[in-house]
Chains A and B, each alone.
Chain A
C-alpha cells in the first residue's frame, strides 16, 4: 500500500501537563500582547493637558 497523507499515522505525543499557575500566566500574557496589538502603541497612564490640571502633580484629597 502506498504511503499517503490519509493512511499515515502520526506518532502519538505525550501531552505536556501545564500547571494552573502557568496557564493563568500564559492567558494573562496573551491578553497583554493582544491589547498592545489592538492599541497599536504602548503607553502607560495619561498626562493631563486639560485646563486647570496642567500644574497638578499631587492631589492630596481625591
Chain B
C-alpha cells in the first residue's frame, strides 16, 4: 500500500471557498488542505476503533448539544498546557504541581510526559485530559513511555479521527480512555464535504449520530482552549506555554519553521525575512518574533477568541509570547491559580 502524497487538487477547493485577503493565512491554510489524503489514510485505519469508540459528547456539559451553550453558567476553570519555552523558563509545571488547583487540566500531547514527570498527574488532578489533533507520526513518541501506562487509566485522551493509527494503538495499550471527535476540515454544509463523509462512516449502534465536529484553530494548543469551554464548559481558561512566537531578538535561523520557509524560497535567504514579523506585546512590554506559521496560529486564535460566548474568559498566563488583545486578559500564572481556584 502506497502512503498518500499531498493532493494538489485540494488547493483549488481551498482557493474557491476561502476568500481571506491575508496572504500568510492563505498560504498555510491552503498548504494544509493538501494533506487531506494523509488524514483519510489515518481515518481508514482507525475505523474499527472509531465504530466501537466513545464520543467526546460524553464529556460535554451541554446536554442539549451546543444549543444550550449561549446561556451557560460555568462553575469550573481550566488550564491549557502548551509546549512554548516560557513553560520551562517560568517553572510553570512545578508551580502547578505544587498547587491545590481543582479545575481541569488540558495537556497538549507534547506536554504529557513532562507533566507526568513533574508531578502533574491524574491522581492529583482528577480532571486530566490530553489532546491530539495532528495526523503526523511524531505524535507516537509523545505517548510511548512507561510512565503513561502507570497513569493511563486516569487520563482522558481526546483524539481526532484522523490521528495516526499507531498512536491510537499505544494509547489503547496504555489504558487511556479515548474520546473521538472529527476535526472540521471543510465546509460541512456543502455536498460531498469530507467532514460530513467522515461522520457518515463513523455512525454505529454505539454512536448513531457519529461524533461531533470540532473547530481546531490549526494547532493543538488552540484546540485545547476550544475544548475547555466548548465541551467542558469551563471558564476562565488559563493558558501556559502558549507563546505562539519567539523572543524578539531570536535570530531567524533559530526559529522553529525556518528551514521550511527557506525551502519555500528555494534557499534564498534574502527573501525569508519578508515572511517574519515582530509584534509588541502591550500587556508585557516585550517584543515577539513571528514566523509565518506562528503568525497564522496567532491570527487564528485572535480571530476565534472574539467570537466565543460572553461567559467565556481567556486568561493568558504564559508570561511571554504574542497572545494579547481583545477578550484576552494577561496575568501571572501564580495569580491565576490564586484568583480562580
Residues of A within 8 A of B188 (CB): 59, 62
Q: Are B66 and A58 touching (Cβ within 8 A)?
A: yes
Q: Are B218 and A47 touching (Cβ within 8 A)?
A: yes
Q: Which of B133-141, B247-255, B322-330 contacts A (4 or more CB under 8 A)?
A: B133-141
Chain A proximity of B213: nearest CB distance (Å): 4
Q: From B183, which residue of chain A is reached at the shortest CB distance?
A: A45
Q: Which of A2-10, A11-19, A32-40 contacts B (4 or more CB under 8 A)?
A: A32-40
- Of A28, A38, A39, A46, the residue contacting B137 (CB under 8 A) is A28
How distant is the Cα of A50 from the Cα of B187 in the complex, in angstroms? Answer: 8
Q: From B215, which residue of chain A is reached at the shortest CB distance?
A: A57
| Contact indicator per residue, chain B 230-259, by CB within 8 Å of chain A (1) or not (0) | 110000000000000000000000000100
Q: Are B304 and A50 touching (Cβ within 8 A)?
A: no
How distant is the Cα of A46 from the Cα of B66 in the complex, in angstroms? Answer: 21
Q: Are B31 and A40 touching (Cβ within 8 A)?
A: yes
Residues of A within 8 A of B138 (CB): 32
How distant is the Cα of A15 from the Cα of B115 in the complex, in angstroms? Answer: 41
- Of A27, A28, A45, A62, the residue contacting B212 (CB under 8 A) is A62
- The residues in A between 20 and 42 inclusive whose CB is less than 8 angstroms from any CB of B are 25, 27-29, 31-32, 34-42
Q: Are A40 and B195 touching (Cβ within 8 A)?
A: no
- Of A43, A52, A57, A59, the residue contacting B29 (CB under 8 A) is A43
- Of B35, B212, B296, the residue contacting A59 (CB under 8 A) is B212
A1 within 8 A of B: no
Q: Are B195 and A41 touching (Cβ within 8 A)?
A: no
How distant is the Cα of A56 from the Cα of B195 in the complex, in angstroms? Answer: 14
Chain A proximity of B325: nearest CB distance (Å): 16
Q: Are B32 and A46 touching (Cβ within 8 A)?
A: yes
Q: Using a Cβ–Cβ cut-off of 8 Å, how many residues does chain B contribute to the interface with A?
A: 67
Residues of B within 8 A of A55 (CB): 307
Q: From B190, which residue of chain A is reached at the shortest CB distance?
A: A50
Q: A35-B35, A50-B187, A60-B212 are in contact. Are A44 and B219 (CB under 8 A)?
A: yes
A27, A48, A50 — which one has the most chain B CB atoms within 10 A of its CB?
A48
Q: Are B3 and A27 touching (Cβ within 8 A)?
A: yes
Q: From A62, which residue of chain B is reached at the shortest CB distance?
A: B199
Q: A57-B226, A59-B188, A62-B182 are in contact. Are A47 and B303 (CB under 8 A)?
A: yes
B209 within 8 A of A: yes
Q: Are B210 and A62 touching (Cβ within 8 A)?
A: yes
| Contact indicator per residue, chain B 3-17, by CB within 8 Å of chain A (1) or not (0) | 101100000001001
Q: Are A46 and B210 touching (Cβ within 8 A)?
A: no
Q: Are A54 and B307 touching (Cβ within 8 A)?
A: yes
Q: Are A36 and B260 touching (Cβ within 8 A)?
A: yes
B51 within 8 A of A: no
Q: Are B260 and A58 touching (Cβ within 8 A)?
A: no
Residues of A within 8 A of B214 (CB): 57-59
Q: Are B29 and A58 touching (Cβ within 8 A)?
A: no
Residues of A within 8 A of B185 (CB): 45-46
Q: Are A46 and B260 touching (Cβ within 8 A)?
A: no
Partner-A contacts on B (CB < 8 A)? 3, 5-6, 14, 17-20, 25, 27-29, 31-35, 38, 65-66, 69, 133-138, 182-189, 195-196, 198-199, 209-220, 226, 230-231, 257, 260-261, 263-264, 292-293, 296, 300, 303-304, 307-308
Question: Knowing that A42-B260, A50-B19 are A-B contacts, what are 11 other residue pairs whose CB atoms are under 8 Å apart, sorted by A's residue number?
Answer: A31-B3, A39-B6, A39-B31, A40-B264, A41-B31, A46-B14, A47-B218, A48-B187, A61-B65, A62-B199, A62-B213
A-B contact pairs, 6 of them (CB 8 A): A28-B3, A41-B31, A43-B29, A46-B218, A52-B189, A62-B212
